[in-house]
Amino acid sequence: MSETAAEKTADADADAGKEQSQETNTSKLLETDEAVREDDELANIVTAEEYLMSKDIVLLEYEKQMFLDLVHADGLLVCAKGLSYERALVHILKAYSDAGNLILIINGSDWEEQYYKSKMEAKYVHEVANTATERERVYLEGGLQFISTRILVVDLLKQRIPIELITGIVVLRAHTIIESCQEAFALRLYRQRNKTGFVKAFSNSPEAFTIGYSHIERTMRNLFVKQLYIWPRFHATVRGALKPWQAQTIELHVPLSQHMTSIQTHILDIMNFLVREIKRINRNVDMEAVTVENCVTKKFHKILQAQLDCIWHQLNSQTKLIVADLKILRSLMISTMYHDAVSAYALMKRYRSTEYALSNSGWTLLDAAEQVFKLSKQRVYNGQQEFEPEPCPKWQALTELLTQDISHKSHGQEQPKVLILCQDARTCYQLKQYLTQGGPRFLLQQALHHEVPVGNLSDSYARESQSIAAGTAAATSKVDHPNSGAAAVEASQPAAAGIDELAQLLSETDAEAQHFEESYMLTMSQPSLSQEKQPKADPNTSIFETIPELEQFDVTAALEAAAHRKQPYVCLQTFKTEREGSMALEHILEKLQPHHVVMYNTNVTAIRQLEVFEAHRCLPPAERMKVYFLIHARTVEEQSYLTSLRREKAAFELIIETKSKMVVPEYQDGKTDEAFVLYKSYDDEPGDNAQSRQAGGQKQPQGQKETPKVIVDMREFRSDLPCLIHKRGLEVLPLTISIGDYILTPEVCVERKSISDLIGSLNSGRLYNQCVQMQRHYAKPILLIEFDQNKPFHLQGKFMLSQQTAATNADIVQKLQLLTLHFPRLRLIWSPSPYATAQLFEELKLGKPEPDPCLAVALGSEEPVAGEQLQYNSGIHDFLLRLPGVHTRNVHGLLRKGGSLRQLLLRTQTELSEMLQSQECGKLLYDILHVAHLPEKDEVAGSTALLAAGKQFGAGSHNRFRKAAVEARRGRR
């Protein structure tokens, strides 16, 4: 038996040895596989230069340089509009796409986010989760994260995101980064705990960096970058990359009609008069930006806002009327230049009314204004007052271009593809209706839409009036018919809001019944016309039709349908779209590959996008697309385009000059602790003066000081204040609290209100309930009324209130007075800006204990708070406090011994005096409960009026006053 046992033991040992050796071999194999995989991964790692040399990377020379600059160093890249840093950024994101990297992309718009996601591999792009737990898991998966900054800031403060493991942050639209914004807050939190990750920022708005004092330096400081890369259009590398591949450009100068030229001249005269007037009234105000040239440009309202916002309350009413009228005149100029005669006349009529004449600055009384109204009417009606509107000057030029020049030059080749670019969705719709319906019918429809009286038609329009009913019927019944030449915009298609502010200015009347799309695809329904030797195309004929395949904007299907019919096709497109932004043009160029591009309106960004597109195609000169510019020479349109070019050039020159003189500290990148020295540190020792009082400056043994904490409600992260509090060295604790917005100490609770929020809360009664909760749970409740830092801050007396706002302001003041009367402990603080509020919070916390986060969250919730001994109904407590003789020192005794309200009414005056520990308080309470009160002596006039009213309305009225008086006299006897 022993031998058998020994054999079994030996066999077991042998089996164990075999298993151990197998496990060892398996582990060695695994280690070998991991080593081989690591070697393969290391072999795949390439430098940035080698990455660019791969076959599938197609970048222009300046785009390659952008890529290399940003890969090798952190920095801010500012490029000209239309040069599209997007391609370089796409390849930067691809280079960092790996599960081992965590890249955060912040401050991007929706269309930018969609664009970059479409260019990346899906496995590396992670959607932002809704719950905090899910987000923690997603962060650990690495890859690319497009995240809203508000969520990112809260996750950084709560340490849900592994800050040390973040590879880098990419900041889009860097020109919007200011010191108090959430993006700057997130970058500061990131840099304080991550010294190795990168920060790469991009902007394509050089003009934004010219507003304010040293904007570019402050932006770089907020971004924690030291390098500035500037890429203007006149950069030598950019010119070298684009010049060899220039497209064939043809400028067509379209003259304005005589009436349009006169209207333009008169509007400019009125603008010039108003500009001189506003400068005469405000001699002490810097009005350098208010010029006629700026008045007709796109960014006029932004320039005006930056110039006048800080002194708006000091301007008189005439100045404010002039500013409003300059905007109106600009809209009239735009309507005259870009829209049809009927729409322009309809807009003019709105400002010819008596109501507007009484409320404007007086420009409607000028002779030039009278001429403007008269000429606008003459554009619609002829000398016999017959309806005969003049067509837009560019319509005829566009028709000739499409039917003759483009068709003849493309004869014998594949059917031409034409892209027509417009400034906004309204112009796009106008051209689509004109090309599919003809000019007269479209103008007649506009007259009916704008309720312009048609009256008698001229001979040329008589035929249109007879067929208009049939035409409208055809427009509704033939929507789905592929050959309907008069197809209108489908009512089922959603209205697309125009991005350009020109459409917004004039959308009040037109958006009601007309739906403007941002893209239309047409095809020529009568190609035989191109072969006829007609000197001019008949504007009454409709030779284009819509393509049914484009109802869902399926460009590929539309192109196939048009190619199958062997017909030319025309695409109408705005420079920008709401869904794709400025990348919409690049998208349609890649899909359409047009032979001809017609710039119906001028746009700097679009022109450069065409240049970049042609440079990427690298085609021989004969095969390159032809670009036609339809422009009104020596007009406001041309001047506006030249002004935008001049502004951009001046902005780049300023940035280049600033860079040459800029002093960048070595610690600005935040990779050393020196960058945060300027923020207050509460671990420092007291100053020398304080130390000299303590035993001749000897160091006292003391523990390390705790960083002051402020509890902030999660909803408050929409504002700038948490960022500025953190910058002053206070620790921000984001929690969901139901009472107050900021908890500074166990006793101090702050409810922050902006001006608009204050007015809304007072009117709805919400503020009253919030104050009730704050006063019940905190000893020192505070209502903070905070003004916008970009607006003027001034406290004004009643004598300064204007007529328009007197009633509203007085109402608000009265409600605030009632609030302070109801809540004696409530303190009101008026703060001019979030910066002042952050400083105030810091001073309020000096030497005070820190708030308890658990208690702050529990207060106001359904569950009882630990240690809170509330043995009474809070409603009864508040009611008793409002009775005479009851105050905070005796209310608890009354609650304990009073029993109930019914028992309280049965108590004698002596018993009440014992409960309240004061005979005077007991008498006041007894009288209010049992004695009916007559008016005081100073209210005799009021009581006399009541008695007189009683006699008037009936003998039985107000008898209770007499009875109460008689009973009171008996009681005294």
Which CATH number goes with the domain that contains 184? 3.40.50.300
CB contact at 8 A, 783 and 771: yes
Report the C-alpha dihedral over residues 826, 827, 831, 837, rounded to 10 degrees. -90
The per-residue pLDDT for 510 is 38
Same domain, 848 and 922: no
In this prediction, residue 614 has a pLDDT band, given cuts at 50, 70 and 90, of very high
- Tell me: do 190 and 71 sit in the same domain: yes
Characterize the bridge pairing of strands 569-574 and 780-786. Answer: unpaired
Q: Taking a C-beta distance cutoff of 8 angstroms, is the pair 180, 206 a contact? A: no
d(C-alpha 484, C-alpha 476), whole Å: 10
Over range 681-699, report the average pLDDT.
45
Q: Which residues contact 22 (CB under 8 A, 6 or more apart)?
A: none
What tokens does 480 get? 């789905």
Those residues whose C-beta lies under 8 Å from the C-beta of residue 837, and which sit 6 or more positions away, are 721, 724, 752, 784, 786, 831
**Residue 92 located in a structural domain:** yes
- Give the CA angle between residues 964, 967, 973 to the nearest 5°: 145
Residue of 881 and 323 predicted with greater confidence: 323
Can you tell me the distance from the alpha carbon of 432 to that of 315, in angstroms, rounded to the nearest whole number? Answer: 45
Query: Which of 131-140, 241-250, 498-507, 822-831 bottoms out in mean pLDDT, i.e. has the lowest?
Result: 498-507
Task: Report the interhelical angle of 583-592 vs 604-617 (nearest 10°).
Answer: 40
Asked if residue 585 belongs to a domain, the reply is yes
pLDDT of residue 872: 63
In a domain, 560, yes or no: yes
Distance between CA 358 and CA 293 in Å, rounded? 28
Residue 468 is assigned to a structural domain of this protein: no
CB contact at 8 A, 452 and 388: no
The pLDDT of 733-739, averaged and rounded, is 92
Does residue 521 or residue 603 have the better pLDDT? 603
User: Rounded to 5 degrees, what are φ and ψ at 322?
Assistant: -65, -40
**Structural domain that includes position 751:** 709-794+804-859
**907 with 782, same domain?**
no
Residues of the chain above pLDDT 70, percent = 74
Do 916 and 816 reside in the same domain of the chain?
Answer: no
- The pLDDT assigned to 684 comes to 45
Provide the pLDDT for residue 706. 77
Half-sphere exposure of 808 (CA within 13 A, CB side): 9
- Name which residue leads in pLDDT, 894 or 868: 894
Write out the DSSP string of 199-213: EEEEE--GGGGGSST
Whether 631 and 519 share a structural domain: yes
CATH of the domain at 902: 1.10.150.20
Strand (E) or helix (H) holding 71: helix 61-72
Q: Report the pLDDT value the prediction gives residue 750, as an integer from 0 to 100.
A: 96
The string of pLDDT tens digits covering residues 46-80 is 677 777 777 678 899 999 999 999 999 999 999 99
Region of poorest pLDDT, from 178-192, 626-640, 852-866: 852-866
Residue among 486, 500, 480 nearest 445 (CA): 486
Tell me the percentage of the chain whose pLDDT exceeds 90: 41
Are 262 and 252 contained in the same domain? Answer: no
Residue 533 lies in a domain: no
Give CA angle at 809 (803, 810), nearest 5°.
Answer: 95
**For residue 478, pLDDT beyond 60:** no
Does residue 963 register a pLDDT over 60?
Answer: no
Of 606, 623, 647, at which residue does a domain stop? 647
Q: pLDDT at position 2, please?
A: 45
- In 662-788, alpha helices (H): 688-693, 721-727, 755-764, 766-777
**Do 579 and 570 form a contact (C-beta atoms < 8 A)?**
no
Domain boundary, last residue among 602, 628, 647? 647
Number of domains in the chain: 6
Segment among 187-201, 295-309, 465-479, 543-557 with least mean pLDDT: 465-479
Res. 735 pLDDT band, cuts 50 70 90: very high
- Whether 268 shows a pLDDT value over 90: the answer reads yes
Does the reported pTM lie above 0.85? no
pLDDT confidence of 470, banded at 50, 70, 90? very low
Report which of residues 293 and 560 the model is more confident about.
Answer: 293
Domain end, chosen from 647, 662, 697, is at: 647
- 112 and 208 housed in the same domain: yes
Q: What is the pLDDT of residues 818-852, one digit of tens each?
A: 898 888 899 999 998 899 999 999 999 998 999 99
Please tell me the predicted confidence (pLDDT) of residue 130: 83
Q: How many CA atoms lie within 13 A of 275 on its CB side?
A: 20
Residue with tokens 């609650």: 895
Specify whether 78 is located in the same domain as 211.
yes
Confidence bin at 521 (pLDDT 50/70/90): confident
Is the pLDDT assigned to residue 157 strictly greater than 80?
yes
Q: What is the mean pLDDT of residues 295-323?
A: 80
CA distance 80 to 655: 12
Question: 374 vs 881, which has greater pLDDT?
Answer: 374
Task: Tell me the C-alpha distance between 275 and 326, whole Å.
Answer: 8
* Inter-residue contact 360 to 369 (CB < 8 Å): no
Confidence band of 646 (pLDDT split at 50, 70, 90): very high
**Worst-scoring range by mean pLDDT, 63-72, 130-139, 492-501?**
492-501
The answer to whether residue 26 is domain-embedded is no
Structure tokens at 954: 């009936």
| Mean pLDDT along residues 689-718 | 66
pLDDT at 683 (0 to 100): 46
Taking residues 296-300, what's their average pLDDT? 77
State how far the Cα of 713 lies from the Cα of 842, in Å rounded to an integer. Answer: 17
How many angstroms separate the CA atoms of 583 and 114, rounded? 11
Contact yes or no for 378/262 (Cβ under 8 A): no
Q: Indicate the range of 159-173, 570-584, 640-654 predicted with least confidence.
A: 570-584
- Tell me: pLDDT of 853 over 80: yes
